[in-house]
């Protein structure tokens, strides 16, 4: 399956507050997520930011927020952002539906809770999902491993930061290849 940049969106799930600093290998995950966001913006891929109970957990970490400040942000309280069971998740589901994007790249925390449940919800709503393995994390790495296994079994594609980007570019002749390559390095 090749990603088509005109039909792809990036969903950033709950990289917020103190919890973002407590997940396994948090600095690497945050750094790669920032690079992923920068590359998606170069490729005109829309970004949507989710925040789980931001009044309680805090806002999106500054390293990421500085790159997504002008992108849509949605507050949520359900772990599955697209459950449609409350007003917030109904708004998120409606917004994602209005975007008419069939494929979603997913990054965020925690892999075994909000990422897992949101990916499941996207799949149930007939979206193709690509989970960026090095842009997700949990406090315990075993929970992230289990989440990845379960998401794969449910039909999500599991990829890496570089694998995804080179899949988007498809060729070294892509007009943005050099700019993306500079961000990857």
Q: What is the pLDDT of residues 57-115, one digit of tens each?
A: 999 999 999 999 999 999 999 999 999 888 988 999 999 989 989 799 999 999 999 99
Judge contact between 18 and 62, C-beta under 8 A: no
Domain segments of the chain as ranges: 5-184
CA distance 59 to 75: 10
CA distance 70 to 91: 18
For the segment(s) 5-184, the CATH number from 2.60.120.10, 3.40.50.1220, 3.40.50.850, 3.40.50.300 is 3.40.50.850
Q: What is the pLDDT of residues 17-41, one digit of tens each?
A: 999 999 999 999 999 999 999 999 9
Angle between helices 26-42 and 177-184 (to 10 degrees): 170
């Amino acid at each position: 399956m090749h990603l088509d940049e005109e039909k792809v969106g990036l969903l950033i799930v709950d990289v917020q507050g103190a919890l973002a600093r407590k997940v396994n290998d948090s600095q690497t995950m945050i750094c790669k997520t920032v690079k992923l966001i920068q590359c998606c913006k170069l490729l005109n891929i829309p970004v949507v930011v989710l925040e789980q109970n931001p009044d309680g957990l805090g806002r999106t970490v500054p390293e990421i927020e500085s790159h997504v400040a002008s992108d849509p942000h949605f507050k949520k309280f359900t772990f599955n952002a697209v459950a449609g069971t409350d007003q917030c998740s109904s708004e998120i589901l409606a917004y994602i539906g209005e975007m008419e994007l069939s494929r979603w790249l997913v990054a965020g925390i925690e892999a075994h809770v909000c990422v897992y449940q949101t990916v499941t919800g996207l799949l149930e709503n007939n979206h193709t999902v690509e989970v960026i393995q090095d842009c997700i994390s949990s406090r315990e790495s075993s929970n992230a491993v289990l989440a990845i296994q379960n998401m794969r079994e449910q039909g999500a594609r599991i990829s890496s930061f570089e694998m995804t980007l080179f899949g988007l570019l498809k060729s070294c002749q892509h007009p943005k290849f050099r700019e993306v390559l500079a961000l990857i390095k």
